[in-house]
Chains A and B, each alone.
Chain A
Amino acid sequence: MSRLVAELPAPTGTKPAGTGRRRRSRQERLAYTILLPALGTVFVIVTIPFVLAIWQSITADDGTLVGFRNYTRALSNPLFYDALRATGLYALIVLPTEILLGLGFALLVHRAVKRAGLRATLYVLAVLPLVVPPVAVGVVARLIYAPGYGVLNYVLQSVGITHSEIQWLSDPLLAMGSVASVDIWQWTPFVYLVLFAGLQTVPKESVEAAQVDGATWWTQFRYIELYYLRPLFLLILFFRMADVLRVFDHVFILTGGGPGTATQLLSLYIYRIEFRFFDGGQAAALAVLVLVAISILYSLVTRALPLERA
């Protein structure tokens, strides 16, 4: 199989175009001329709130420096660990499911659907769940899972599969599953759209060459397509991870974090610390902790799977 990789066209975009030194430096200058103003502006706009958040995390309400007291308070609250556990479980359910399903559909459509019209229709269908406001998604989910008038129990009972109401939202594990299912419904299409777009960058020649060599469905994916999708996987993984940390509406509407704290995800928890406890210092400390944790995870992952191709 290494032959297939060897046959891949040399990654073009990342290779310097000219060989002469002068040419390179002229290009580099042009690059900086274009890049710096844009990056500079973005940098300033994002850095201010960022600095403010860090400042807030080391001060009290009256502006006195309190060192790491907000951090120790954040870390000594047992509810924080409940939230962490709930978020971890949620992420373990939704991330692999969404990525595998989205990848599966993207590969299937990419390989099996050739008609432009059908591709466009599937594309539009995939966009639909993404444009329903999260609060409306939460409400529809409530109409499906709720005790009393949930349509899921109604259907299960009229078909005769169950005889009594299943408590989708007040049993800790079922509640987590129900809440996660909504995420999977809404966000699998996102993974599909991104990976499907990514598959369009796979050069047809290498795929054809591989097929001549008798590559199977799996080897074609493993040795060719995966190679082009890798940066997108990184993008999806960390985007979805960041999004899992800001999930709000459907959890709030479905369970309000309950039963007890079973579905009180970090996002809900930080929101409550900020807007219910009005403990801005602790909320900022939590936010910074989240930021640091993902950044560490990110650097570990990119070290194992470098962003740049060798």
Chain B
Amino acid sequence: MQRISRREFVKRTAVTGAAFTSFPALLAACGESTGANKVSKLVLAAVQGNEDGPLKKVVGNYKSQTGIEVQIVEFPYDSLFSKLVTTFQANDSSYDLCMMDDPWMPKFGTMGALQPLDSSFGFTRDSDIPTVVYDVGTWPPPHGPVPPTEQSKAQHLYGITIVGNVEMFMYRSDKSSAPANWDAVLANAKQFNAANFYGYVIRGKATNPVSSDSLPILWSFGGNIFDDTWKVQLDSADSITAVDFLTRKLKQYAEPGAANFDAAERSQAMATGKAYQSTVWPGEITGIVEDPTVSQVKGKVAYIPIPQGPSGKGLGMMGNWLLGIPKGSHNGSAAADFIKWMLKTENMRNYVAQGGVPIRKSILNDASLAAANPYFKALAASFDAVPNWRPRTDQWGAVETSYGTAMNAAVAGQLTPQAAMQQAASQIRATMKGAGYPS
């Protein structure tokens, strides 16, 4: 018997089902016309929020310059991922462009869901853009461990960053100077902690939030999730020390209810002058902490790269949003033209004026923009220091869920740092083994 794949089976059964029901006649008249060569509209699936706000404001210019409308369809963060995966699995042509969070790249790369930008549309590396930005959009990854199934694939560029997010650190510069390392962070947290003023804010909500918040600390302490051969390192001494530092030492001076704090609560606490320091993403800076209509601390907060840990390194975390072109799109080259347009310096300047987060070093280091965007210098420095990315595996969703659940239990005090990391490590080992990684 011929073996059929599950997707093929789903498709065939669906066809059979369709034949049974009396719908088809009613619905025959809806084939999309793809005939005309001149593309007049591109559909872009985007994430709703600070990440796509500036993009929405500049697509009007694109239309007036080229006559091509870019329709932006917005999705919530979590749903965009599910939506894109199901769309790609079906090789559907609804979207010509999609926004992707960088930890999704491995999944899409492994699926082969995107059109290669370098070989198909002639994208080359621009020296004004940090290398790591191109690397994060390349699959298989140019450095670090490569998943076993991907090692024989040829490297291609599949995504171009349009939101150059890197996780940074913020503190109240009106109260003290910049902390040089995490020990200074702890000392400041102790010194400034007071009634109704948190010495440190932990973004501790379960899964993704606490994972994002803790990884830079984990890395800066020399801990890691995987080593270069995909061996799980979460229960190593360095990893546990890092978790202990966050969930025990810093937590003494952190806000009550830390296990339930997300970014919304953190930036609110910071903006209302109730907190001294925390990690931070550019979206929180532009959206809340530096927004003059809501912030009571504008001008009193400084942004720096992630402080150094005992390892002597401070490692920020990338959270780039990329633009890619789905395999299913019939308008690949028109979509590629739009990405190229976005990358042009003058267009990126305009994009920055609308609140966009740039990736060009010349813009990040432009003195005339520094005053309006106080975090640009720190972002440029973070790129220079080469931030870490989350492990390049299509199992990342599972890994993050296991890690983020255990971390949350540690922040809540339900598990000791050691027990939490042992739990996470054993779950992640099982996941990776099941996915065919060396164990």
Minimal Cβ-Cβ distance residue in B for A149? B268
Smallest distance from the beta carbon of A32 to chain B beta carbons, Å?
19
Secondary structure at chain B's binding surface: helix, strand, loop or mixed? helix
Other-chain contact of A169, B3, B260, B397, B414 (Cβ < 8 Å): B260
Is B265's CB under 8 angstroms from A63's CB? no
Most buried by A among B6, B10, B21, B411: B6
Is A63's CB under 8 angstroms from B8's CB? yes
Other-chain contact of A48, B13, B406, B408, B412 (Cβ < 8 Å): B13
Q: How many residues of A contact B (CB 8 A)?
A: 43
CB of A147 within 8 Å of the partner chain = yes
Q: How many residues of B contact A (CB 8 A)?
A: 51
Smallest distance from the beta carbon of B283 to chain A beta carbons, Å?
18
Other-chain contact of B206, A60, A64, A259, A279 (Cβ < 8 Å): A259
Q: What's the Cα separation between A56 and B10 when bound, in Å?
A: 9
A59 with B6: in contact, given A147-B257, A148-B274, A259-B414 (CB under 8 Å)? yes
CB of A220 within 8 Å of the partner chain = no
Smallest distance from the beta carbon of A176 to chain B beta carbons, Å?
13
Is B6's CB under 8 angstroms from A259's CB? no
CB of A264 within 8 Å of the partner chain = yes
Is A277's CB under 8 angstroms from B431's CB? yes
Smallest distance from the beta carbon of A273 to chain B beta carbons, Å?
9
CB of B145 within 8 Å of the partner chain = no
Other-chain contact of B17, A44, A63, A175, A279 (Cβ < 8 Å): A44
Is B260's CB under 8 angstroms from A61's CB? no
Is B260's CB under 8 angstroms from A255's CB? yes
**Interface hits, B190-223 → A, CB 8 Å:** 205-207, 209
Provide the B397-434 mask, 1 if CB < 8 A to any CB of A, else 0: 11011000110110110110000000000010001001
Q: What's the Cα separation between A262 and B268 when bound, in Å?
A: 26
Smallest distance from the beta carbon of A156 to chain B beta carbons, Å?
14
Q: What's the Cα separation between A264 and B132 when bound, in Å?
A: 36
**A/B interface sample: 20 pairs, CB < 8 A:** A41-B21, A41-B22, A45-B21, A63-B5, A63-B6, A147-B256, A147-B260, A165-B256, A256-B408, A257-B405, A258-B205, A258-B405, A258-B412, A259-B412, A259-B414, A261-B409, A264-B206, A272-B401, A275-B85, A276-B397
Q: A63-B8, A258-B260 are in contact. List 15 more A-B contacts (CB 8 A).
A: A52-B9, A52-B10, A55-B9, A61-B6, A63-B5, A148-B268, A165-B256, A170-B257, A175-B260, A256-B408, A257-B206, A260-B405, A260-B412, A260-B415, A277-B397
- Which A residues are within 8 Å of any B CB, using their own CB? 41, 44-45, 48, 51-52, 55-56, 59-64, 73, 79, 146-149, 164-165, 167, 169-170, 172, 175, 255-262, 264, 272, 275-280
